Structure 1
Amino acid sequence: MMNKHESARRRGSGESRDFWLQLLIPAVLLVLLLIVIAGVVPREALVPSIVVVAVGLLTSGAVGFFSGIRGPMWLIYGLILAELGLLLLFPAPWRGLALVCIPVSAIGFAIGKDVAYFRYNRRHGVSESNGLSDHQEA
């Protein structure tokens, strides 16, 4: 049986690696979405599209983070509907970007949830080998 110092060192490196691997999927999807937006959106609507993506990522990431691991999922649905409604009320370049907020919000929510999982695992000291915390191993 390994001592607590070795267990903490191994767990910390594995958690960090797993965290970055979990963020890889939403990050790749975000890059693909940005490539599609850059290729499809006209040049005069590029700045509004960047604003929609940035605000969507920040708000949905915050909802994912603060709703936590077992938080209510209806918050993200309400946020997406609010974003859609708001963008559909704005003039032409913004109205055309209303559907962009759906994948952006999904990606931001996934990133926020992953950060919440990582924070929870760091705080509670969950071991990768058997799922027990340090104080339960002893």
Structure 2
Amino acid sequence: MENSEPAVVRDSGESREFMLRMLIPAALLILLFVLIVSNVPGEVLPAAVVVVGVGVLISGAVGSLTGIRGPAWLIYGVIFAGLGLLLLFPAPWQGFALVWVPVSAIGYLFGKEIAFFVYNRRHQASPSIGIVAGEAIESVGKAKQQALSRLGRGRA
């Protein structure tokens, strides 16, 4: 027992917050599934599930790869490419072209939340560091002083 190291207890507040933020796109995805299942005939339901699954995966990857400040135009390209591709396919797939838009938006929300989570895990801020205009300042007093001086220059 003498050589044992103390256990490190990690704060789960960050993970809990992440899970709460993921509830919004998850609820929207569940609502979309309910609408699709209740309004789509059984014989084309597998095609609808494929469109939803592929849409969430592709747009989720775009959201997570572009990061928290990434180019937003990339998701618009994915949406228009998916719309065009689905409209070129035969009958059951053409009917799901408009489903592609909300599916892509929901997947993009998932990806962005994952990107925020990864960013926050890598860049944990210390309570003794102040951030002014994206610049980390070691002293909170100096950070307040710099922020107030920047504020004063903005009014002049």
Highest RCO, 1 vs 2 (Cα 8 Å, sep ≥ 6):
1
Residue 111 and residue 132 in structure 1: after superposition, are their counterparts in 2 closer, same or farther (change >3 A)?
A: farther
Give TM-score, length-normalised by structure 1.
Answer: 0.84
Give the 4+ runs in structure 1 shifted more than 2 A: 129-133
Letter of the 2:71 counterpart: P
Structure 1, residues 64-106: CA drift from partner, whole Å, max 9, x if none?
0000000000000000000000000000000000000100000
Structure 2 stretches lacking a partner, 5+ long: 1-8, 132-137, 140-156
Q: Could you tell me the TM-score, scaled by structure 2's length?
A: 0.75
Once the 2 structures are TM-superposed, how far is the Cα of residue 52 of structure 1 from its aligned partner? 0.2
Return the alpha-carbon distance in structure 1 between the equivalents of residues 24 and 128 of structure 2.
26
Percentage identity across paired residues of the two chains: 60
The equivalent of 2:149 in structure 1 is none
CA distance in 2, matches of 1:31, 1:43: 18
Unmatched 5+ stretches in structure 1: 1-7
Matched, 1:120 2:119: yes
**Larger Cα-atom Rg:** 2
**Residue in 2 that maps onto 1:32:** 31
2:92 aligned with 1:83: no
CA RMSD across the alignment: 2.3
Q: Secondary structure of the equivalent of 1:99?
A: coil
Structure (1/2) with the larger helix percentage: 1
How far, CA to CA, are the matches of 1:130 and 1:69 in structure 2? 24
